[in-house]
Amino acid sequence: MDMELPSWLKSYSESETKLVDSSVQRPANTMKWASEVARLFRVDVSLIKKWGTEFADFLSVSANPSKGKTRCYSESDIKVFALVSCYWKDDRDYEYIHSLLNQGCHHDDLFREFAYLNTPIFQDVPEEIDETWTHGVLVSGMAQPHPVQVARAYKAAGDALMEQALKSSEPHELGYPILFSYRHAIESYLKVVTEYEFEGGDNAAHSILDLLKKFEVKYGNALPDWAKNRLIDFHNVDPKSTSFRYADTINFSAGGNEKWINFYQFKTILNALCNLFEQIITTRLNTRLP
């Protein structure tokens, strides 16, 4: 049986934006109600329920719940329905559709991408998640990282981008992400070592100069002059952590508005600064950090 593209999938092929569910702002929940799924596939709710019964073996438990509970459908269910919709013709060859599902054809790129686009990014934690799930991350709640882990993560992100840029003949394409990642790593480290507590409306929250002053109040002259000078370099070019987020936001105060950055030097400085902060974390902070 040939696959006939239904209207929803034709629109998806022509313009993905037409299929993204933007009808209302709703909680970040992976599950969809039957009415939502029906709108997604442009069919009647009764047909969604029929599909749910006919192809129950390939659907989540919530697609056919016990009496008194409301049907709701997962990202995986959307993939199943996407395939079913493509082969749902007047002759309704159930056996052929079942065979495709048994072969796992609903995991093909076309159906997976459609399901991804129509599922919230921030999802409820799946019940079946375990240590083998290395294709994503948990955020907030019990997975909330320690601030020093965030600092290290931004440093690692900068390192990865730097390595890619240095292998490229077009390093400027990654310039802003590298500078932003490293700059935010430095800010995050300073907040860790100064035990900074953010308060809403704090205009100094991103100021490296203000954080450096807090550092000196707490530790005196623990930083060598070169470290202070390089931190001030960051502050002068990016006082509010906006210079490398957007275009046309850098303003050099002196010597023209165009500067050269040697990535090898820059990486050396970042490694040395972060090593200093790690030493302070290890030797001077009383709390045990990860």
Burial group, residue 161, by CB count within 10 angstroms (0-12, 13-18, 19+): buried
Contact 79, 92 (CB under 8 A): no
Token pair, residue 63, equals 């697609």
pLDDT, position 1: 53
What's the confidence (pLDDT) of residue 224? Answer: 96
Poorest-pLDDT segment among 100-109, 140-149, 212-221: 140-149
- The domain defined by 145-283 folds into Four Helix Bundle (Hemerythrin (Met), subunit A) (1.20.120)
Domain limits, the chain: 7-132, 145-283
Mean pLDDT of the 27-34 span: 68
* Mean pLDDT (whole number) for 275-282: 93
- Per-residue tokens: 125: 């934690």
Q: How far apart are CA 234 and CA 237, in angstroms?
A: 5
Where is average pLDDT lowest: 10-24, 35-49, 92-106, 155-169?
Answer: 10-24
